[in-house]
């Protein structure tokens, strides 16, 4: 029986010995089963390698080797109290199965937090101590885990009956011994690890070190105490961006754990808190010591509420799903956010000028010459402009990763440039009339560095002719200019969150009125959505009209339905009507992939990274498609829009899940 279905194997006997009882869960490499060992008359857990898509056939050898490596590395830590024991690795029908300890009553940290809410700081510190102990034992043997995250930490009853007394690290499936000269079983075009938990140096192409595991541990503990990851965003691209260029969002629940989190989340591995220091700090939180000379009692926060009714939601983060606010405050630290935050003075993403032309097509189709709705080239129906566009280059060293920023930016000249009622947002912003819903804007940033300083805004009345950088998508009212300054940026982050989550590469910007211009601005802050690394080329979200032709992939968003008229002409249509494709998500290609190469590789990348089956589409009927355009290649993000379409080329109305 072929692998691939988590329910297809109940009752199978593996290697003549292990009877599959029921699935326990699924991961990146396969399914984990509860099985009965007929020889020893006990229960074990079996990890089955799964190849979900024909596109993975070329990777079979590497993934089988990775499974063997997982068994070898984990078996080397046999007997460690905080590592799931691996008993054996065997082959059945040509594929390996890993035989592991079955941890009865276990729940992973991700699911535990989802069910019962965040942990108390002291309890989270206890989890951190156990995982740190497992990691350092592996590091001492030269083994790096490389995928520390809440889903890979199990909590189970201990011998005393405490329901979460036992803490175990599992899944060494992508671990590596960097000094052993062994083959690294990774895919050349895919980062190995989990996007929101990867260390910045790994995202930018650096080698794994023990410090990379410590960064992932910091992200994991943040999730445990705050209820979500420090770089959690609506897409993998945005998470990778945040890990490299943005500070973790402020923590409202961490209490005494905050300094430890911040030390582990240091972006520079040379400055990151070392394991010994983290162990000492976590131990002090778990068991506070009296110190009459220098230290008061640590604040452990509330005690765990497991076993009772789920608690109220986590303490609201004024920044929604974005980063801590970056706007003027007396101390220079991000304002308006309770709890610990990033130190001031760290530079954001450095970007530079550039230009972007457009030429898109469904992936896998022949290259088309410029022209048509998806082929607007400056000078051919689209006037050129010499102003610096919004961030047309990627941070040096990112190796072509798509940086999909999701943070809010505060744009006002209130502190230094009061302006007057003739300019509601001040002289630096420059607009002489208040912004209106749907206004498309061009943004000129001082020093040609996007999202640093106050941009000078101008309008693109056509919302397309001048390749706009963004659009006004919401407003936030206020009783006073002071209230607008205090609450507007965070409110804009929240108001634009849903739209930003459906797009691949955008950020929000709050345009706050000055004191003198407050009334002229209609007593409200304008919330813009801007391209993070280039223009958006046209209207966004609900401001788009059905039937409009896409000028670039930048305006394509999740669940858009497309009428594909040619390889260069895709139009937005209602999903209730006949359509050819539907947008599912986004992926990115490597820095060395040219646009010409992308047009032949993007379908395969989407089939692997955004498979339609994961969205409920029948793989026997549907297949993955893709769209590319010049813009993401001009600015270095290399993102691809992934779609689903019918294999026979027919329309898709009425058969979506």
Q: Considering only CA atoms, which of 118, 204, 112 is closest in space to residue 166?
A: 112
Query: Can you read off the two tokens belonging to residue 125?
Result: 């510190």
Q: Is 148 exposed, middle or buried (0-12, 13-18, 19+ CB in 10 A)?
A: buried
| HEC profile of 295-357 | ECCCCCCCCCCCCCCCCCCCCCCCCCCCCCCCCCCCCCCCCCCCCECCCCCCCCCCCCCCCCC
| CA distances for 214 relative to 70, 146, 224, 277, angstroms | 20, 10, 15, 11
Calculate helix-pair angle for 109-116, 210-226, nearest 10 degrees. 20
Q: Which of 122, 81, 119, 147 is nearest to 260 (CA)?
A: 122
Return d(Cα 230, Cα 196) in angstroms, integer.
Answer: 8
Is the Cβ–Cβ distance between 400 and 636 less than 8 Å?
yes
Question: In degrees rounded to 5, what are phi and psi of residue 218?
Answer: -60, -45
- Rounded to whole angstroms, the Cα distance separating 435 from 424 reads 9
For residue 314, the tally of other CB atoms under 10 A from its CB is: 16
DSSP state of 91: E
47 assigned to a ligand binding site:
yes
56: helix, strand or coil: helix
Three-state secondary structure of 542-565: HHCCCCCECCCHHHCCCCCEEEEE
Please provide residue 507's backbone torsions phi and psi, each rounded to the nearest 5 degrees: -135, 165
From 147, 171, 552, 603, active-site residue: 147
317 is an active site residue: no
Q: Please count the CA atoms within 13 angstroms of the CA of 547 that sit on its side-chain side.
A: 0
* Catalytic positions: 147
- Detail the residues annotated as belonging to a binding site for ATP: 47
């Amino acid at each position: 029986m072929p692998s691939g279905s988590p329910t297809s194997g109940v009752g199978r006997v593996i290697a003549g010995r292990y009877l599959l009882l029921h699935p326990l869960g699924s991961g990146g490499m396969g399914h984990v089963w509860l099985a009965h060992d007929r020889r020893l008359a006990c229960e074990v857990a079996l990890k089955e390698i799964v190849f979900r898509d024909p596109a993975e056939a070329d990777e079979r050898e590497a993934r089988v080797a990775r499974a063997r490596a997982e068994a070898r590395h984990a078996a080397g830590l046999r007997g460690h109290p905080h590592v799931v024991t691996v008993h054996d690795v065997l082959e059945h029908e040509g594929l390996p199965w890993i035989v592991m300890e079955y941890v009865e009553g276990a729940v992973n940290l991700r699911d535990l937090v989802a069910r019962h809410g965040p942990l108390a700081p002291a309890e989270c510190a206890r989890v951190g101590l156990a995982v740190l102990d497992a990691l350092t034992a592996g590091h001492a043997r030269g083994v790096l885990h490389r995928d520390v995250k809440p889903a890979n930490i199990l909590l189970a009853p201990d011998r005393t009956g405490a329901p979460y007394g036992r803490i175990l690290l599992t899944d060494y499936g992508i671990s590596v011994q960097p000094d052993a000269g062994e083959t690294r079983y990774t895919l050349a075009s895919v980062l190995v690890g989990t996007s929101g938990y990867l260390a910045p140096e790994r995202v930018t192409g650096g080698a794994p070190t023990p410090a990379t595991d410590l960064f992932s541990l910091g992200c994991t503990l943040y999730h445990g105490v705050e209820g979500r990851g420090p770089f959690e965003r609506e897409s993998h691209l945005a998470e990778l961006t945040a890990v490299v260029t943005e500070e973790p969002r402020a923590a409202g629940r961490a209490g005494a754990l905050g300094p430890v989190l911040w030390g582990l989340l240091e972006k520079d591995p040379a400055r990151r808190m070392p394991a010994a220091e983290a162990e000492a700090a976590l131990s002090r939180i778990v068991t506070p010591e009296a110190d009459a000379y220098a230290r008061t009692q640590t604040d452990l926060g509330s005690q765990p509420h497991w076993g009772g009714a789920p608690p109220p939601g986590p303490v609201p983060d004024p920044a929604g799903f974005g980063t801590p606010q970056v706007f003027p405050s007396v101390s220079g630290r991000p304002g308006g956010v309770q709890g610990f935050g990033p130190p001031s003075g760290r530079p954001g993403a450095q970007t530079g000028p550039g230009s972007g032309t457009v030429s898109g097509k469904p992936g896998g189709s022949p290259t088309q010459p410029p022209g048509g709705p998806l082929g607007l080239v400056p000078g051919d129906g689209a006037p050129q402009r010499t102003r610096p566009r919004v961030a047309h280059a990627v941070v040096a060293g990112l190796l072509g990763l798509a940086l999909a920023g999701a943070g809010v930016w505060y744009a006002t000249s209130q502190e230094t440039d009061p302006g007057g009622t003739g300019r509601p947002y001040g002289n630096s912003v420059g607009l002489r009339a208040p912004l209106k819903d749907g206004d498309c804007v061009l943004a000129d940033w001082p020093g040609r560095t996007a999202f640093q300083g106050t941009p000078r805004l101008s309008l693109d009345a056509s919302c397309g002719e001048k390749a706009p950088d963004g659009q006004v998508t919401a407003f936030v009212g206020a009783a006073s200019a002071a209230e607008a300054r205090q609450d507007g940026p965070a409110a804009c982050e929240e108001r634009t969150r849903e739209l930003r989550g459906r797009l691949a590469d955008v950020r929000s910007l709050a345009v706050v009125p000055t004191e003198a211009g407050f009334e002229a601005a209609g007593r409200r802050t304008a919330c813009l959505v801007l391209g993070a690394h280039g223009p958006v080329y046209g209207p966004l979200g609900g401001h788009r009209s059905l039937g409009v032709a896409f000028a670039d992939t930048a305006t394509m968003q999740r669940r858009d339905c497309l009428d594909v008229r040619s390889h260069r002409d895709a139009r937005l249509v209602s999903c209730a009507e006949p359509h050819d494709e539907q947008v599912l998500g986004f992926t990115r290609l490597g820095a060395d992939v040219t646009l010409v190469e992308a047009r032949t590789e993007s379908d395969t990348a989407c089939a692997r990274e955004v498979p339609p089956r994961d969205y409920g589409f029948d793989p026997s009927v549907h297949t993955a498609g893709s769209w590319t355009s010049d813009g993401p290649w001009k600015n270095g993000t290399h993102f691809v829009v992934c779609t689903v379409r019918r294999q026979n080329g027919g329309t898709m109305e009425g058969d979506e899940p």
